[in-house]
Structures are given as C-alpha cells and as structure tokens.
Amino acid sequence: MLPLIRCLGAAGGEADAADLYDRVAREIGASAEVREAKASFAGDERNLFDRQVRHAQQLAKTKGLIAAHARGRWTLTDRGLGLLENARPGVVMTVFETRQGLAIWGHVEDAAAIIEPGSVSTIYTSPPYPIQTAKPYGGIDTASWISWMLDLVDLWKPLLAPGGSLFMNLGAEVYRRGAPYQSTYLERFVPAVEDRCGFQLAQRWYWDNPHKLGSIQWVSIRRRRLRQTVEPIYWWINEVNGIQDQANNRAVLQPYAEKTLKRYIGQDRSDEARVKPSGIDIGAHAFAKDNGGAIPSTVLRSANSASNDPYRRACRNAGIAPHPATFPASLPERAILMTTRPGDIVCDPFFGSGTVGQVAERLGRRWIGIERSRLYLDSARLRFSETAAA
C-alpha cells in the first residue's frame, strides 16, 4: 500500500491504474519474472502483480487514503497526501526490510501492537526531549512529556523478555521558559519508571559530547551558565518473577592502557605500597591478571559534530534532508553488545536516522525500528542501501 501511495503522490496525486502498475513495480524493484507472472482465475488469465496492486488500492480505499473513479483512475485523498509525510494514528506499514530487520512507519503506540510480547531483548531509544521551543523532530512541555513517556514505558514492558533491558537517552539541559533554571523533570520521571512501571534501574550511563554548545541563550549570549556537554542514558531492567538481566561487561572490554600493561600485568607488585591514600589495601598481586581488557566506565565520550559522514553524504546525494538529532553509533553499540546475543531482537521505537538498526545489523542482531516520519525513514533507508528491500 505504501509504494502505491508514494507513486500516486509522485504522479501529482492522480493517475490511471494501468500506469500505476509499472510505477509500483519500479518503486519496489520487482523483477521481470514477478512483474509478468500470471495465473488463471475462473478461466481468465490474470497478471498477479496487477492483482496485488489492486488489492492494495482496495485496502487504501477502506482507510480513506485513495478514491477510485470510473474507468480505473485513482486519486489520493487529503488524508492520503498527509500520510506522505507523517503517519496518521492507526496506520502501520513496513517501509523497508533488510536481512536482519524491518523499519515500520507508524506511531509508536500503534506499531507496538504488532510486536510479539516477550520477543525483544533490548530497547534502545532517544525520544524527543521536552523543550519549550518545538524542533522539527518534536518538542512538548515537561508535564505532558512525563505522562506520555510513562504511558509508553507501560506499553513497552510486555514487549521485553523477562530480564530485558530498556535504554533511554534523555536530555538533562531543559530550561524553564524565560529563566536560567533547569527543569527537574528527570528527577520526577526516573522514580516513576520504577514505582509505576515496575522496572529496576540497572545503571546511569552518561554521553559526554565535548563539542556540544549547550544553551545558546544562557551560556553563549547571556553568559549565565556553563556548557553542559553530558546527557544521561538510563538503563532499566524488566525484572519479572525474580528473573534478572544477563548483561556481561566482558563483551565491551577495552584495550589496556600501555602504562597499565607495563606497571601491572604479569608483574609481582609485592614491593609496592599496598595502601592507597584513600586507605584501601589493594593487595600485592591486585590487577596483575590479564582479563582480556579494561572494564569501561559509565561515561561514553564521543563527539557528534561530523558533517561529512557516510550517512550525511548519502542524504546529500539523494537530495534528502538528514535527521537533525542523530547520535554516535558507539552509544547503542555498547548497550547492544553488553545486553544481547547474536540473533536477539533490538527495538528502537523512535528510529529517527536508523543508527540503532544499523549497529544491530552490523553486530548480527535482529532489529525493529518504528518511526512516524516518512522523511526520516527515507534517510534511514540510506544506511542500508546495500541490504534494504522495499
């Protein structure tokens, strides 16, 4: 149905059915064999592809998206034209698939209904932040945001397997309107995820973006505050009947620093001072064992200022505006490696530019991305140009 609607939009909103068959075939990349396949119905030989397009038109008609006129001329309704940008409530469509995942066009509340309960190992997402001035990707007041997010967390809980993980990258720098005072919305939201939704807080991670400008008004113009470069990533566990998570930090070990290798690994430190200034006695042979790497801290330092990465170059070449609020692949990568195994399902209910899906695909995980903006899905599709199918 979606390719048909897009082809009608490209034709100016109205076209003959006979012309649309070929348009849709080109849109989805149908092979000549598929395009020409035929079968007999009540003694009449029919083209199977044309028949499928007509079925899609009939479904779109029942949803008020297409109006059919005499002599096989089809027209997009106002609602159908609106759907070319943002999905309307109640409409859920698969826009593209890869070997490991699928991108779904629809509102997160609607799309969640088609995901099998208990099938998702990890949800990693960065929802729109509550901000006073709306951005192209959204923006609502803090009270409405808290209510909306808690409803979504309630909705996501049954989708997660027992012991599954929920990661949410949230914005800490939310100022009150007209004053240099930050909102305490996170201090209200986080306890409610545990008290109301029943999740357990595993840890707080922090994304340090050293190039982040911070509040233009209160930092750069009026000089009342410092640059805030850190955003929290809250990691919750869906503990059910005592079933805890199986996260393993061995999956995200980092190479030892050279000085660590020289000073500790494989050396007898019995002659060194064992008691540190803090008063902790670390033992003569502490840290002398090679465990394969160093355990990372909860701070992930990664700039997000690239203007010529493959994603943005692909968007420019395709004439598509990139998503205005991307994040580095290193953020979901650590979460996915630590909390899932190959073949597990990772879900991003606010898919945006598709970073989570791209990382999951590279790591051999299956993925589901949900996004209400067709324009953002068009750009996300470019991340999977070699593996995506319409």
Do 31 and 123 share a domain, yes or no? no
Asked whether residue 265 is domain-assigned, the answer is: no
Domain membership of residue 205 (yes or no) is yes
pLDDT at 137: 43
- Each residue's pLDDT tens digit, 343-389: 999 999 999 999 999 999 999 999 999 999 888 898 999 999 866 56
Both 98 and 62 in one domain: the answer is no
Residue 351 has a pLDDT of 96
Q: Where do the DSSP E strands lie in the chain? A: 14-16, 38-41, 44-47, 66-69, 73-76, 93-97, 101-105, 120-125, 160-169, 200-208, 230-237, 299-301, 345-348, 366-371
Give domain status of residue 349, yes or no. Answer: yes
Indicate if 78 and 162 belong to the same structural domain: no
Residue 273 lies inside a defined structural domain of this protein: no
**Burial (CB count within 10 angstroms: exposed 0-12, middle 13-18, buried 19+), residue 116:** exposed
Q: Are residues 206 and 137 in the same domain?
A: yes
φ/ψ (deg, to 5) at 12 = 90, 10
Model pLDDT, residue 266: 52
Residue 29 lies in a domain: yes
Name the burial class of residue 366, with classes exposed (0-12), middle (13-18) and buried (19+) by CB atoms within 10 angstroms of its CB: buried
Q: Which positions ≥6 away from 84 have C-beta within 8 Å?
A: 5, 6, 9, 374
Per-residue pLDDT tens digits for 139-190: 578 999 999 999 999 999 999 999 999 999 998 888 888 899 999 999 999 9
The domain that holds 35 is classified in CATH as 1.10.10
CA-based radius of gyration for the chain: 25
The confidence score (pLDDT) of residue 99 equals 92
Gap between the Cα atoms of 252 and 294, Å rounded: 9
Tell whether 317 and 230 lie within a shared domain: yes
CB 80 within 8 A of CB 66: yes
Together in a domain, 201 and 337: yes
Residue ranges of the chain whose pLDDT lies below 50: 134-138, 268, 270-271
CATH code at 311?
3.40.50.150
Residues comprising the chain, all counted: 390
Please report how the helices 310-318 and 374-381 are oriented relative to each other, as an axis angle in degrees rounded to 10: 120
How does strand 38-41 pair with strand 44-47? antiparallel
Extract the tokens encoding 70: 């005499």
- Based on the fold, state whether residues 300 and 359 are members of the same structural domain: yes
| 289 located within any domain | no
What DSSP line would sit under 107-171, residue for residue? Answer: -HHHHGGGSPTT-EEEEEE-PPP--SS-BTTB---HHHHHHHHHHHHHHHGGGEEEEEEEEEE--
Considering the domain architecture, whether residues 153 and 193 belong to the same structural domain is answered as yes
pLDDT score for 267: 54
Angle in degrees, CA 350, 355, 360, rounded to 5: 100
Last residue of a domain, one of 83, 115, 142: 83
pLDDT tens-digit readout, 335-351: 999 999 999 999 999 99
Domain boundary among 61, 83, 105: 83
Where does a domain end: 83, 111, 131? 83
Say whether both 310 and 330 belong to one domain.
yes
> Domain containing 170: what range?
93-254+295-384
Question: How far apart are the C-alpha atoms of 20 and 16, rounded to whole Å?
Answer: 6
- Domain membership of residue 376 (yes or no) is yes
Q: Number of structural domains, the chain?
A: 2
Model confidence, pTM: 0.76
99 plus 132 within the same structural domain: yes
The answer to whether position 310 is within a domain reads: yes
DSSP 35-48: HH-EEEETTEEEEH
CA dist 376 and 135 (Å) reads: 14
Residue 151 sits in the same domain as residue 55: no
Verify that 230 and 159 share a domain, yes or no. Answer: yes
